[in-house]
């Protein structure tokens, strides 16, 4: 169940960050409401995942997966491009998540 909580936390954070861009500095009401609700859900779900995961591992997975996902949202939704350094950097973040997943014993 802890993986479901962490997955929901990641998805909610990505939705909130996407809506943050769409809120245009909190000048648009609907995206602003989505930001608040999404971030609230993200933190509630992350707190539930932290009942099982160690803090550092959960936060690394949550933030790293969120960075990679939001880069894709930026590309697909907002037409933003990554240069080679950005692609390599995000690839390293994803690689770090894979290492944590495969080799860390930091869950109870």
pLDDT tens digits along 24-40? 999 999 999 999 999 99
Using only C-alpha atoms, the chain has a radius of gyration, in whole angstroms, of 15
Task: Establish if 38 belongs to a structural domain.
Answer: yes
Task: Establish if 108 belongs to a structural domain.
Answer: no
**C-alpha 13: how far from chain center:** 5
For 27, 47, 100, 103, 106, the CA distances from 9, given in Å and listed in that order, are 25, 9, 18, 22, 19
With 0.85 as the threshold, say if the pTM is over it: yes
Task: Establish if 32 belongs to a structural domain.
Answer: yes
The pLDDT, as a whole number, for residue 107 is 54
Tell me the two tokens of residue 83. Answer: 């240069």
Percentage above 90 pLDDT, the chain: 75
Q: Give the total number of structural domains in the chain.
A: 1
Q: How confident is the model at residue 98 (pLDDT cuts 50, 70, 90)?
A: confident
Task: Establish if 13 belongs to a structural domain.
Answer: yes
**Is residue 108 pLDDT above 60, yes or no?**
no
> Which DSSP state fits 79?
-
CA dihedral (56, 57, 61, 64) positive or negative: positive
The pLDDT, as a whole number, for residue 99 is 87
- Which residue, among 62, 41, 39, 37, has the nearest Cα to 50 in the 3D structure? 62
Return left, alpha or beta for 24; rule: phi > 0 is left, psi -120 to 50 is alpha, else beta. left
The pLDDT, as a whole number, for residue 106 is 64
The pLDDT, as a whole number, for residue 26 is 97
Task: Establish if 43 belongs to a structural domain.
Answer: yes
Task: Establish if 11 belongs to a structural domain.
Answer: yes
The pLDDT, as a whole number, for residue 87 is 92
Domain of 14 in residue numbering reads as 2-103
Task: Establish if 18 belongs to a structural domain.
Answer: yes
């Amino acid at each position: 169940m802890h993986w479901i909580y962490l997955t929901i936390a990641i998805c909610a954070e990505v939705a909130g960050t996407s809506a943050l861009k769409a809120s245009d500095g909190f000048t648009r009401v609907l995206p602003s409401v989505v930001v608040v609700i999404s971030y609230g859900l993200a933190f509630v779900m992350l707190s539930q995942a932290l009942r099982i995961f160690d803090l550092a591992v959960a936060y690394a997975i949550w933030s790293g997966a969120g960075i990679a996902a939001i880069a894709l949202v930026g590309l697909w939704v907002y037409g933003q491009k990554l240069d080679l350094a950005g692609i390599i950097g995000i690839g390293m973040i994803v690689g770090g998540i894979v290492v944590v997943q495969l080799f860390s014993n930091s869950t109870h």
